[in-house]
Structures are given as C-alpha cells and as structure tokens.
Chain A
Amino acid sequence: MENDKKNTTCCCSCSSPDTLPKEIVQYINECMQKPHSESYLIPVLHKIQNYFGYLSPCYLEEVAQLMRIPAAKITGVATFYHLFSFTPRGKNRISVCLGTACYVKGSGKILDKFKERLGIKENETTPDGQFSIECSRCFGACALAPVVVVNDKVYGDVKPEQVDKILADYGFKK
C-alpha cells in the first residue's frame, strides 16, 4: 500500500512540514476511480498548490506514487505551467500585470517601484516571508489598466505613487 509510506518525514532537504493532507489524498483516490485518471494530474497539482502555496518535490513524489505516474513526467508537467511555483511564496503575493493594456499604460514602472521598495526581484520572496512579487500576463481587467493584484484583491488604475500606500495596507514598513 502506497499510503503506508506516508507518515515518514520529508524525503529531501526542503522545508515542507508534512506529507499531503487527507483531503488531497482522498481527492486523488477519487480521481483514480474515474476513466483517464492520469488526466487529473493538473487538477491535483492545483489542489496541492492552493493548500501549501507551492509545490515541493516531496509532494510531487507522493503524487507520483498515488497516481502511478512517473515522477519525471509530473516534474515535466509542473515545470511547464507558469502558475505552479516551486518555492514558498510570500504571505502577501503581489502580482503586477504586464499584459498589453497594462504595459502600454506603464505597468513596468509600477513593477520597478515594488521591486525597489521590497528589495527583491520578480518571483522572489522577502527574507521575512511577508511579500513576494510575480508578474502576470493579464487578469482580464484591462479596462482598469494598469492592474495590480495583491492576494485576491484587485487594484485598478494604479500609479507608481500608490505603491507605498498599497504596501502599507499589508503592513509593510520601510
């Protein structure tokens, strides 16, 4: 039984605290009952990322066992799609839209300002784990361009001068 192996601690040196939670294991088992069960790999990865905020190699290893898909294939799939992250993201995730409408309206400058203020680059997390910056390709809110999304809140018509105010909303102190 694959499940028996589960209560061992993490196999690699990553900081992930534990193995997959019960509900995700149960979801995988349900998927395994359906036809073309391997097609549920991406939904499973979404579930894991939603739960932990990122995909650690150990989770992928466990998925490989449970779904009977080679770990190499899972890594291949997970690395192909931009939405999957392999490093823990900040508590507050800042996404600056670099879609066409936002770009034409100067979202590049807003990104620069966030990077300057937080001292990190895109796809990085501040050392205290509070903030991370991502670039996004269009949230479909182009009429509000330029758009910044922090966690789930959408800020429209953002100007570089508002960056400090937005960061302050999430408790950022210089």
Chain B
Amino acid sequence: MPTSLEKLQDMRRKAVFRVFEKKFVVPVRITVGSATCENAAGATDVYERFRQLMEKHSGLDVVLGKVGCAGRCDLEPMVTVVAHGHIPVKYMRVTPEKVDRIFEEHILHGKVIEDFTMRRSAGLYNAQRVVTLCAGKNCFEKHAPEIEKAFLENIQRLGLSDRIIITRSACQGLCQHGPVAYVYPDGVMYQKLTPEIVKEICEEHLAKNHILGKYVWSGERLTNRSFPFFGDVYFFGKQLRLTLRNCGVIDPESMDEYLSVRGYEAIAKILTEMNPQQVIDIVKKSGLRGRGGGGFPTAQKWQFAAAQPGTEKYMICNADEGDPGAFMDRSMIEGDPHTILEGLMIAGYAIGACKGFVYIRAEYPLAVSRLEKAIADAKALGLLGDNILGSGWNFDIEIRLGAGAFVCGEETALIHSIEGSRGMPTQRPPYPAISGLWGKPTVINNVESLANLPVIILDGPDWFSSIGTEKSKGTKVFALAGKVANTGLVEVPMGTTLREVVFDVGGGIKNDKAFKAVQTGGPAGGCLPAEYLDTPVDYDSLAAAGSIMGSGGMIVMDEETCMVDVAKFFLDFTQSESCGKCTPCREGTRAMLAILQKITDGKGEDGDIEKLEQLGKIIKNASLCGLGQCAPNPVLTTLKYFGHEYKAHIYDKKCPAGVCSALLTYTIDPEKCVGCTACKRKCPVHCITGDPKKVHTINQEDCIKCGTCLTVCKFDAVTKS
C-alpha cells in the first residue's frame, strides 16, 4: 500500500507533467492578473485581447494564463511575460492597446517595451543576469559592504557592468546559509559568500556561464520556489512572501499548478508521518501567533480543543474580513485558494475536527467562487472528503457566507452566524475551544494564520522561527492604502519598521506631501504619528505604542487628513456596527460620536476632550467583546498624539487640515480675482456676487462651504482657511 505521501507525490508528478507540457518549458508564458482589483482595473479586457491575438497567430509556442493579484494594485492590470532563459518582464497598467504593441514587439520580435514596465527597472531587460543579494538583518548587514563591493569590483574588472545588475531583496530566510545571492535567470542561490567566492562566481559563472555547483545552496524552500516567476526584481522591494508565495505566480483555478508547487504535500506528510499531537508541537515550536489581530498563540488554542473529549469538533477559517481598508484575505483566497484549504485541513487534523467551515464575506464573490472551485477540485482528487489520500482520515469543508455584519469577525458572533442566528457575541469563557459551534469544541483561525501552516510543516518550525522578532515569528501581510505612492498588498518579516513599510516598500507619500500618521489595525487600532515610524511591526511593539497589529490594514495619512475627522469616521463605523447587546458599547460609542460630531461642527466646548477620554476608558473596560473594547482606540490615540488638532477645533474653531467643512471659510483674494465670473456661475447657492471683470465676494452667511468656487477658479484667487 502506498502511503498518503507517496500517493500525493504520484499525483504531483502527473500534475507537473501536465503543467510542463502546457507551460514552463514552452518558450513564452504570458500571465494576466485576475482578481477583483485587477478586473476592476480592466484585466478582463486585456486577457481577452491576448486571447484574440493568440487565436490569430495560432501555432505560436506561447501560453496564456491567469494568476492572482501580485499585490501592487496601483499598477494594475499587470501582465507578466516569462520567456525561458530571460529575465521575467512585468508590464504595468496594461490596456488592450498596449497589448497590441506588447504582442507585436515583445512576443513576436523579442523586444521588451521598457516604457510599459516600472520606470525604476530601466536597463534591467537589456541585462544578461540579475544578482540579488539578500539584505536581511541577519546575514547581509554583517557582511554587506564587502560582498556587494566584491561583486561590483569584479564585474567592473571583467567588463560586465552593462550586462549584470545587482539588486537587494528582503531576508530570504536562509540566515544559516548567509550571506546569499540569487542569480537570475539561472535560478541559482549561492550560499556562505566571501569576497573570494564572489570573485570566483564572477569569473566563472557571470563571465563564462559555468554554474559553480559547489557553492550552490541545494535545499528547497516553498518561498524560494516561485522566486523566478515573480518578474521584476524591484517590484517586491523589502518583502518576504511566505503566505503570499503563490499569489500572482500560479493560476488560482488550477489544481495542477498548485500541486506542482508542492501543494497538499504538507497535509500528505502529516497524514503519513505524524499524529495530531506532533503537529501541534511543531506549530508550537514555530511560535506562530494568530494573524487575525489578537496574536494568541495558535498551538495553544489547538491544544485546548484537542484536549476536549469527543469526536465532534469543528475547525473554522475566519475570512470575514470586515476591517475597512483591509483586503489581505480576499487577495489570498483569490490568488491561492488551495493553500487556505490545506491550512484548514492541517489545523483540522491537529485538533481532531470532523468538519471545517470557511466563513467568508458575501461581498467577495470572486473569492467565494474560487474557493468553491478549489473545494470541488480537491474532492474530485480525493484530497478532501472521506479517507483522504487513503489515510482513513475524513474531513469535509463547507463555505458559509456572511451577510455584512462587522461584528461577525468576533469568534462567538461568527459561531452564532454559522448557526443561523443573529451574530451577537456571547460572554467568554467558555471559550470556543471548549464550547463553540453547536456547543462543541471549535477552533477559529484567520486566513493568514492558516496560509502559514504548509510552510511551517514543509520548511520546518526552526526555519520559520528564525524569521521575525523574539516574540513575533514569521511575516505579516499588510494592506497598504491611503495617501501612499505604492498601494497594495505587502508581506514583510515581523520586526520591519513602519518607516520601511511606508517609505521603502510603499514608496512614501503621494505627491510629495508631508506624512502625518499611519493607522494600523482598522477600526480597533490606532493612529501613530511620525515619531513612531521607527516602531518595529510586531504584536508587542505596536501595542506598546497604543495601536494594535490587527488583521493588517495599514492606512497612510498625509497633512491633508484631519485626525478628528478620521477618529469620527472610525467611531461612526464601530457605532453603527455595534450589535447593541451591551450598554457600554451601544450607548458609549453613540455618546462619543455625538461629542466628535459637535467638535467637527465647530461647536466643541471646554471639557469635551476630558469627556471623550473618560468615556473611552469606560467603554474599553466594560464592553463584552473585542469590538467594544477596541472601539475607543482611534479616538484615544488621536487624542494622545494629535491633541493639538482637537484643541484647534474646539478653541480656535479651526480645522488645520482643511477638512471639516463647518470650520472652513472660503474667501476671494481681491488681488488675484480677475472677475471671470466662473465661481459666480457655478456656486450652487448663488452666494457669490460681483460684476464681470470686477472683484467678486462670497457672502459668508449663505455659503455652504462646498468648495466648488475653489475648484473652478483658474487664478488661485479662492482661498480656504
């Protein structure tokens, strides 16, 4: 009898054969991004155009495929062209018209159109090779100057400067083997570099194309596997993509492609070699903490549920991504749904669950349909259902849709929602791990936590725990949005500073405006000012600064964002999402919101700040669930770090950022006004007077502060203060 692992390996061989026959050995592979965000940006038209062109040029050795979101949403739709032996090319903001040119010049004639790629990588595609040096803290920083210098000197000496490009990447998690360098497109990782080895590599490999096997790291990591297909090496900056390892690389709707990147090997391995307790011990050793926000050690949660008697236990994947400004779960499920299923199976096996549920937002139709397809494909191959891979273990997964209630992200509320009731939290203890769904032991893990599990099983807990900080292991995915240049999804090792995320990966503030704050943790989190930019991103450091890690929303705010208004926005959100069960949350948030409304309406008075602080503390201490306990956070942190803005609103009746319309006055500068009548004609309430070619004035009593005059004036004569 073959073991589960052998069965899976056989399955993979066949899958790889099918994929290879279809794909990686053909000279050119074109992939078009396909996710909610990509499609909104026009990816479906782009795909369709490529399909038409390929039909027209039948017989070309080119394949066209779809991949999930690669994370750089501001550059979508994206097209990657991988040609054997060449550096992968990523085209940005592709339109059907650009497709015509890409097809004609690149696909048919092999000429990369650099104008359509990221500007930073100009010259990259003329290069023969790219050498990427790991710039992680452990290996690179100690040896950085000498290794990089050695490469640069030798390349120059050998006259290869225009053919070789040297770049840096984030920690590749190969710290014991460092310093390491990855050579593109050969797909070779050199380890334990010294200036002497670098000299040899330059002379033999880079100049004469002889790969030096003796220095090559021969191991394999899930994360490094897809490295050659990412394309543009600048694109990912200081990221380390563990959970997003397949997003933007494989076709999310293809079981074969997932199997070919060692998919379902982790579950096959544990079914063959381990008992549930061993799985729990491995995860315990890895130090994985819940990525949904709380940061509770995953293995500990499992241990509680595993210790309960009985065979009816449930495993739930929480994909009810309710935080406004967070889209990690959507992207992960849309880009790599099988990883989530595999993670759920691993967790289910560890706690001895009979069934798994994925509770997902109904607002994510594409993610739901990909998950449905993944479940059906897995069942068809015997990877899900009864007697999985011949192991005798049964596990089924069912999808349950949310219906637009933020509070259902809370564990007990989520359970009630699956049970078909109103999603209202209940008192803990008992914790769900003891008494959860239908009163049975239940573990709820977040999407990202589950996506880490195959990595931990296959690459080992020691390796996993070598990434990150002492108390926060691994990586964290952030949804970077707001007033930042590069918006999208980023995954960085824990301990990376906020500054590195916002400025290095995020590219800084849009339009060169001044940075004001970064908001982490969604409506339950806090706003941190510039002084805290060097805070390392990990559970404890963010908590110490008054914010939380949360699920990973990270919204950047610039000088034009009013912090009182932002606090009001979040409170308005939590207030309307409060389920109404406990008084502090239901009434307290309402009272706080009323005060904030008063302040932004210009009616703030002495004592309001104190009232806000007092109410905030009460709500934090007395609320039943996490929603209420965290609801005051945005107000309390903005009061702490941006108290002066509150004071300006209350005492000076001014909104320094120019956002709160009740506190603004629009005036016309008589020096600049030429009397063109544009503002007078456009004013919706006709409160501007003045004859043509004479200075106009705004009647402040009637002005509704809509800002139309400011927008239409071509002479900068209207000022807002």
* A166 at interface by CB-CB < 8 Å: no
List the B side residues contacting A82 at CB < 8 Å. 403-405
List the B side residues contacting A83 at CB < 8 Å. 362-363, 403-404
* A76 at interface by CB-CB < 8 Å: yes
* B323 at interface by CB-CB < 8 Å: yes
| CB proximity to A under 8 Å, residues B210-236 | none
* B325 at interface by CB-CB < 8 Å: yes
List the B side residues contacting A40 at CB < 8 Å. 420
Contacting pair A104 B482 (CB below 8 A): yes
List the B side residues contacting A90 at CB < 8 Å. none
List the B side residues contacting A36 at CB < 8 Å. 419, 438
Interface hub of A36, A80, A81, A152 (most chain B Cβ within 10 A): A80
Residue in A76, A84, A145, A156 whose beta carbon sits within 8 Å of that of B481 in the complex: A145
Contacting pair A76 B422 (CB below 8 A): yes
Contacting pair B363 A80 (CB below 8 A): no
In the bound assembly, the distance between CA atoms of A156 and B573 in angstroms comes to: 22
In the bound assembly, the distance between CA atoms of A155 and B41 in angstroms comes to: 8
In the bound assembly, the distance between CA atoms of A136 and B73 in angstroms comes to: 20
Q: What's the dominant secondary structure at chain B's contact region?
A: mixed
Residue in A39, A81, A104, A141 whose beta carbon sits within 8 Å of that of B327 in the complex: A141
Contacting pair A156 B363 (CB below 8 A): no
Contacting pair B403 A81 (CB below 8 A): yes
| CB proximity to A under 8 Å, residues B312-334 | 321-327, 330-331
List the B side residues contacting A38 at CB < 8 Å. 419-420
Contacting pair A42 B403 (CB below 8 A): yes
Say which one of B32-40, B296-304, B449-457 lies at the interface with A. B32-40
List the B side residues contacting A100 at CB < 8 Å. 324-325, 481-482, 519, 522-523, 553, 555, 569-570
With A105-B482, A143-B481, A154-B39 as known contacts, state yes or no: A77 contacts B422, CB within 8 Å.
yes
List the A side residues contacting B420 at CB < 8 Å. 38-42, 69, 77
Question: Nearest-CB distance from A26 to chain B (Å)?
Answer: 19
Question: Nearest-CB distance from A36 to chain B (Å)?
Answer: 6
List the A side residues contacting B324 at CB < 8 Å. 98-103, 137-138
In the bound assembly, the distance between CA atoms of A38 and B519 in angstroms comes to: 40
In the bound assembly, the distance between CA atoms of A46 and B400 in angstroms comes to: 11
* A168 at interface by CB-CB < 8 Å: no
| B539-567 vs A, Cβ < 8 Å mask (1 yes, 0 no) | 00000000000000101010001000010
Contacting pair B325 A46 (CB below 8 A): no
In the bound assembly, the distance between CA atoms of A36 and B569 in angstroms comes to: 39
Residue in B417, B487, B561 whose beta carbon sits within 8 Å of that of A142 in the complex: B487
Closest Cβ neighbor of B74 among chain A residues? A143
In the bound assembly, the distance between CA atoms of A137 and B421 in angstroms comes to: 22
| A114-137 vs B, Cβ < 8 Å mask (1 yes, 0 no) | 000000000000000000000011
Closest Cβ neighbor of A35 among chain B residues? B438
In the bound assembly, the distance between CA atoms of A10 and B482 in angstroms comes to: 49
Contacting pair A137 B569 (CB below 8 A): no
Question: Nearest-CB distance from B589 to chain A (Å)?
Answer: 16
Contacting pair B481 A101 (CB below 8 A): yes
Interface hub of A36, A82, A138 (most chain B Cβ within 10 A): A138
Contacting pair A39 B481 (CB below 8 A): no
Contacting pair A84 B325 (CB below 8 A): no
Interface hub of A41, A45, A104, A136 (most chain B Cβ within 10 A): A104
Contacting pair B37 A141 (CB below 8 A): yes
In the bound assembly, the distance between CA atoms of A81 and B579 in angstroms comes to: 10
Interface hub of B419, B424, B488, B570 (most chain A Cβ within 10 A): B419
Question: Nearest-CB distance from B637 to chain A (Å)?
Answer: 15
List the A side residues contacting B481 at CB < 8 Å. 100-101, 142-143, 145
List the A side residues contacting B561 at CB < 8 Å. 104
Interface residues on chain B, size class: 35 or more
In the bound assembly, the distance between CA atoms of A81 and B402 in angstroms comes to: 8
In the bound assembly, the distance between CA atoms of A37 and B401 in angstroms comes to: 16
With A36-B419, A100-B553, A138-B323 as known contacts, state yes or no: A81 contacts B405, CB within 8 Å.
yes
In the bound assembly, the distance between CA atoms of A83 and B330 in angstroms comes to: 18
List the A side residues contacting B488 at CB < 8 Å. 143
| A61-78 vs B, Cβ < 8 Å mask (1 yes, 0 no) | 000000001000100110
* A52 at interface by CB-CB < 8 Å: no
List the A side residues contacting B343 at CB < 8 Å. none
* B406 at interface by CB-CB < 8 Å: yes
* A147 at interface by CB-CB < 8 Å: yes
Contacting pair B325 A142 (CB below 8 A): yes
Residue in A41, A46, A69, A139 whose beta carbon sits within 8 Å of that of B36 in the complex: A139
Residue in A81, A101, A140 whose beta carbon sits within 8 Å of that of B330 in the complex: A140
| A2-46 vs B, Cβ < 8 Å mask (1 yes, 0 no) | 000000000000000000000000000000000010111111011
Contacting pair B74 A104 (CB below 8 A): no
* B136 at interface by CB-CB < 8 Å: no
Contacting pair A142 B479 (CB below 8 A): yes
In the bound assembly, the distance between CA atoms of A99 and B76 in angstroms comes to: 21
* B90 at interface by CB-CB < 8 Å: no
Contacting pair A43 B405 (CB below 8 A): no
Question: Nearest-CB distance from A77 to chain B (Å)?
Answer: 6
List the B side residues contacting A136 at CB < 8 Å. 363
List the B side residues contacting A142 at CB < 8 Å. 73, 325-327, 479, 481, 487
In the bound assembly, the distance between CA atoms of A41 and B401 in angstroms comes to: 11
In the bound assembly, the distance between CA atoms of A103 and B519 in angstroms comes to: 13
Contacting pair A104 B363 (CB below 8 A): no
* B364 at interface by CB-CB < 8 Å: yes
Interface hub of B76, B325, B479, B561 (most chain A Cβ within 10 A): B325
In the bound assembly, the distance between CA atoms of A81 and B364 in angstroms comes to: 16
List the B side residues contacting A45 at CB < 8 Å. 403
Closest Cβ neighbor of B479 among chain A residues? A142
* B423 at interface by CB-CB < 8 Å: yes
Contacting pair B487 A80 (CB below 8 A): no
Interface hub of A40, A84, A105 (most chain B Cβ within 10 A): A105
* B418 at interface by CB-CB < 8 Å: yes
Interface hub of A40, A83, A140 (most chain B Cβ within 10 A): A140
In the bound assembly, the distance between CA atoms of A169 and B128 in angstroms comes to: 48
| CB proximity to A under 8 Å, residues B408-430 | 417-424
The 6 closest A-B pairs by CB, nearest first: A143-B73, A99-B324, A81-B403, A154-B40, A140-B327, A100-B325
Known: A144-B41, A145-B481. 13 other contacts (CB 8 A): A38-B419, A46-B403, A77-B422, A80-B423, A84-B404, A99-B324, A101-B482, A137-B577, A138-B322, A141-B36, A141-B327, A143-B76, A152-B365
21 of the cross-chain contacts (CB-CB < 8 Å) are A39-B420, A42-B417, A43-B400, A43-B401, A69-B420, A81-B423, A82-B404, A83-B404, A98-B324, A99-B325, A100-B325, A101-B325, A136-B363, A140-B331, A141-B36, A141-B40, A143-B37, A143-B73, A154-B39, A156-B37, A156-B40
